[in-house]
Structure 1
C-alpha cells in the first residue's frame, strides 16, 4: 500500500496508547507500506547527527534511514489488525545492513512490512523489516525485533552471562537525551520522556531510546567503517537517565565487536558487532 506522505506520529502515538487495551494477539498482517521518491531534509539530518554525535557530512549514518521508515513502522503497528500493542512491546534487537554509502542528495523508495512471528521464552517475537532502495536496488535493510511479553514458550533461558569487557572510554548520558532524541525521531514513547511517565510503565526513571544507544555507539567508529557493512545489536538492560556508561570496542574478524555497559556496576546495556560486506 503506497503512502503519499509520512504518517503523523503525533496522531499515532495517542492511538497506540489506547490500542494497548484492545489488542489480543493473532496473526501478523501481510501488507507492505511503501513511500517513493523520499528526500532527506539536511536540517533534520544535521539535528539528528548532533543528538547522536555523528559528524556533519553529506553521507547518512547507517542508522539515519530508520528515521524515515519509523513512522511507517508505527502506522503498521497501530493498525486495527496488528495483533500486539506498540506500547509495551520491547525492542530487543536491531540489524542494519547498507551495501554502499547513502547520500543526503539522493531520493529513496521506502518499504516496511512485518514478518517472522515466533515463540520466545518470555512471550512472542516479531520482526519489523524496512528497506531503502535507489533505482530499484535495495541499498539499506533494517530488521527491528520486538518482544511482546506473556504466554511464552516455557523454554528455559541460559543463566550464563558472558564476562563483560573492560571499557575503553566513558560517556555521560544526560537526563534530557530521551526528549532530545524524541524531537528528531518522533518517537515520543512516554518511557523515554520523563520519570513520571516512565514510572507508569514500571521504570524508576526515563530510559534512553535503544536506537539512540545504537547510533551513539556507531558514531564512535566514524572514520573506521567501510562503505558496505552490517551492524547488529542486542538491547540488554535499559539505560536509566541520567547515566554514566562505559564503551568497549575491539577488532573482530575484520570488523568490530562493541559493548555499552553500566559504568557503576557490571550490567550490559548493548552488545553489537560490525561486519564488513
Structure 2
C-alpha cells in the first residue's frame, strides 16, 4: 500500500463539496463501533531498518529499534482513517499519546504479521479520542504492541466538519491535550539537539509518513503552521535511541505529545531515573514541553 495515495485519500473528507461524495462522506460518530485492518506477513528488511536507524539515531544491530514496527502499521492506520465508516477526517485528528510494549527484540529477517484496529470513540473534555491498537506477531507469538491515541477536537456526536491541523504530534491552536497518561517530569539537562530543516523530509523517506506539515515551510503554512514540524513519532524514536542501551529486552514506553517541534529548531533532552524505569522528555530552549515520556521494565 502506497503511503502517498493513502494520505491523499485520508485528506479528501476535509475538502468542501468533495467531502459529501459517496465513498468519501464520513459516517456520524454515534453508532461507530470500530474497524480492523491486517497486512500479510512481511519480512523485516535490513536496509529499511538501517535507513530508519540512521535518521532516528539508533546504532546498527541485528534487531530492530523498539519503535520501528510502527512503520509497518502506519498505512493500516491511514486506511482505517480514510474508510467512510470512520467518523473523523485524518486532517484535524491529532496524535496525542503513544504507548509501545516490546515483549522481546525483533530480529532482522523475521516474518511478522500486523493487525490494526480501532474501537468506539472515548469521550474527552475537548472532543473524542480514538484508540488505535496494533498487534505484531511472529507466527503465533505476540512480540510487539502499540496503542496510539488520536484526539478529534470538538466532536462528540456527528459533526466532523471543523477545521484542524494534523494527524501527527501537535496542533496550531494549543499544546497537545492530555488523554489518559499521568507521566512524571524529567529533570532538566544540558543535552541539546539541533534539528535540521530537512528532518521531516528525511523521516518521511524512511517512514512513509509524507504529511505536508512535515516537509516544507510552504506546505506547513498551508495547514496553519509557521513552518514545517518534526514528526511526533520521530521525537519519540530519538528519545528512545538516546536511552536504548539502558532499556531491557521487555519494556513499555509511553509518551504524550505536547507542543510541536518547529524545524529547524533546538530541543533539550532530559531524563530522571525511576524505580522501574526512566522518565524522559523534550523541551524547547524556553522550557516549554514538546514531549513527556517514561519507560517501564516488564
TM-score over 0.5 for the pair: yes
| Residue 8 (1) aligns with residue 2 (2) | yes
Q: Could you say if the C-alpha distance between residues 178 and 37 of structure 1 is closer, same or farther in structure 2, counting changes exceeding 3 Å?
A: same
Task: Please name the residue that 2:296 is paired with.
Answer: 275
Query: What are structure 2's unaligned runs of at least 5 residues?
Result: 20-25, 158-176, 179-183
Contact kept, 8 Å, 2:101 with 2:145, in 1: the verdict is yes
Task: Please name the residue that 1:199 is paired with.
Answer: 221
Contact kept, 8 Å, 2:268 with 2:284, in 1: the verdict is yes
Query: Deviations along 1:80-100, whole A, 9 cap, x unmatched?
Result: 211101122110000000111
1:45 is aligned, of 23, 39, 49, to 49
How far apart, CA to CA, are the structure 1 residues paired with 2:186 and 2:56?
24
| Residue 128 (1) aligns with residue 150 (2) | no
Contact kept, 8 Å, 2:185 with 2:280, in 1: the verdict is no
SS state of the match for residue 5, structure 2?
helix
| Residue 260 (1) aligns with residue 282 (2) | yes
Segment drifting more, 88-97 vs 166-175: 166-175
Contact kept, 8 Å, 1:232 with 1:273, in 2: the verdict is yes
Query: Deviations along 1:103-147, whole A, 9 cap, x unmatched?
Result: 112111110000251122221111111110112121100011001
How far apart, CA to CA, are the structure 1 residues paired with 2:186 and 2:139?
43
User: What root-mean-square deviation, in Å, do the aligned CA atoms of Structure 1 and Structure 2 show?
Assistant: 1.9
Q: How many residues align?
A: 264
Task: Please name the residue that 1:92 is paired with.
Answer: 96
Contact kept, 8 Å, 1:164 with 1:266, in 2: the verdict is no
Query: Deviations along 1:188-232, whole A, 9 cap, x unmatched?
Result: 111111111111221111110000000000000121110000000
SS state of the match for residue 220, structure 1?
helix
How far apart, CA to CA, are the structure 2 residues paired with 1:59 and 1:163?
30
Task: Please name the residue that 2:164 is paired with.
Answer: none
Task: Please name the residue that 1:18 is paired with.
Answer: 12
Contact kept, 8 Å, 1:182 with 1:188, in 2: the verdict is yes
Contact kept, 8 Å, 1:46 with 1:56, in 2: the verdict is yes
Contact kept, 8 Å, 1:121 with 1:152, in 2: the verdict is no
Task: Quote the offset at 1:61 in angstroms.
Answer: 1.0
Task: Quote the offset at 1:25 in angstroms.
Answer: 3.8
| Residue 229 (1) aligns with residue 251 (2) | yes
How far apart, CA to CA, are the structure 2 residues paired with 1:61 and 1:261?
23
How far apart, CA to CA, are the structure 2 residues paired with 1:106 and 1:196?
40
Contact kept, 8 Å, 2:257 with 2:291, in 1: the verdict is yes
